[in-house]
């Protein structure tokens, strides 16, 4: 699942056409985030960045990743349910991991993440909450191929970019709400509406959730357990969860032979 040999210069994996009306809604809600991610990388010594927002406690939607490694890092944390991005959101404070190769409290907490991050050629990971008011709306997650702490200027710059992402997302939501007559009453709506209109869009996890539903039917288990089984299989096979999901959807992979394991 680490994708050893990945070229970090590759563009992130796209999951289909972005021309549908649903994708247009997502485009409007998340407009400007790509530029902010690119600028965050260009103005610092970081090699890549991504922004993710939660749809539910069990699922997050990736808004944008600057490169394939940033995308894989976010997907890895989605798969194993742990890592600096998730902790930054839950604890609402930055997570700084200047060297993923050395023994540390972070390495102890995120041991599974560390192994695969190293396999991707990543040596430093930092995550900054995207706040609106006092609540985190998402996370700006960045990485570097070389170990090392952030400079004071970089720390402030990334904090400012995370703030800018939050303001951009909320500004987009208020414009969307004004056009559609929706009530902009919760921050979570940004993530929920964006994720629900993500089908066929780059970075969408709609295929993963579709595959999880198919697995749940095959195993006769709740949908949440279907997602857990998909995550476990992906991690056990060391394959990106999006690739495994594609195999399930295309019927190249079935979990019906594992029905007894689900009991």
Predicted TM-score (pTM) of the model is 0.77
- Rounded to an integer, the average pLDDT of 169-193 is 68
CA–CA distance, 195 with 172 (Å, rounded to integer): 14
Could you tell me the residue ranges of all domains in the chain? 21-196, 206-262
- Rounded to an integer, the average pLDDT of 150-163 is 97
Highest mean pLDDT among 57-71, 87-101, 144-158: 144-158
CA–CA distance, 75 with 116 (Å, rounded to integer): 11
Structure tokens, 187: 């921050």
Given a cut of 80, is residue 157 above it in pLDDT?
yes
**Alpha helices (H) in 110-239, listed in sequence order:** 111-119, 152-180, 188-196, 206-219, 223-237
Bigger pLDDT: 41 vs 223? 41
203 conformational bin, left if phi > 0, alpha if psi -120 to 50, beta if neither: left
Tell me if the domain spanning 21-196 has CATH number 3.40.50.300: no
**Percent helix, strand, coil in the chain (nearest 5)?**
50, 15, 35
Phi then psi for 56, rounded to 5 degrees?
-160, 170
Mind listing the pLDDT tens digit for each residue in 211-263?
A: 888 888 989 898 888 888 888 888 888 888 888 888 899 899 888 877 655 55
């Amino acid at each position: 699942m680490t994708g050893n040999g990945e070229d970090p210069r590759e563009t992130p994996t796209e999951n289909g056409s972005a021309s549908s009306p649903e994708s247009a809604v997502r485009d409007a809600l998340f407009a400007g985030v790509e530029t902010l991610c690119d600028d965050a990388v260009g103005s610092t010594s970081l090699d890549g960045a991504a922004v993710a927002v939660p749809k539910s406690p069990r699922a997050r939607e990736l808004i944008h990743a600057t490169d394939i490694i940033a995308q894989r890092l976010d997907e890895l944390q989605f798969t194993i349910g742990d890592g600096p991005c998730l902790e930054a959101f839950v604890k609402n404070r930055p997570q700084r991991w200047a060297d993923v190769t050395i023994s540390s409290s972070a390495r102890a907490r995120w041991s599974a993440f560390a192994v695969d991050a190293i396999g991707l050629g990543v040596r430093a990971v930092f995550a900054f909450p995207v706040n609106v008011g006092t609540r985190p709306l998402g996370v700006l997650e960045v990485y570097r191929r070389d170990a090392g702490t952030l400079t004071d200027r970089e720390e402030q710059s990334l904090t400012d970019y995370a703030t800018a992402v939050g303001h951009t997302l909320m500004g987009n939501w208020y414009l969307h709400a004004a056009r559609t007559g929706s009530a902009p009453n919760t921050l979570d709506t940004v993530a929920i509406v964006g994720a629900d209109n993500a089908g066929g869009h780059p970075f969408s996890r709609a295929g993963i959730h579709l595959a999880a539903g198919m697995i749940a039917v095959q195993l006769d288990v709740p949908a949440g357990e279907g997602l857990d089984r998909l995550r476990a299989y992906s991690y056990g096979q060391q394959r990106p969860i999006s690739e495994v999901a594609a195999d399930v959807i295309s019927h190249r992979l079935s979990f019906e032979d594992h029905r007894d394991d689900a009991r």
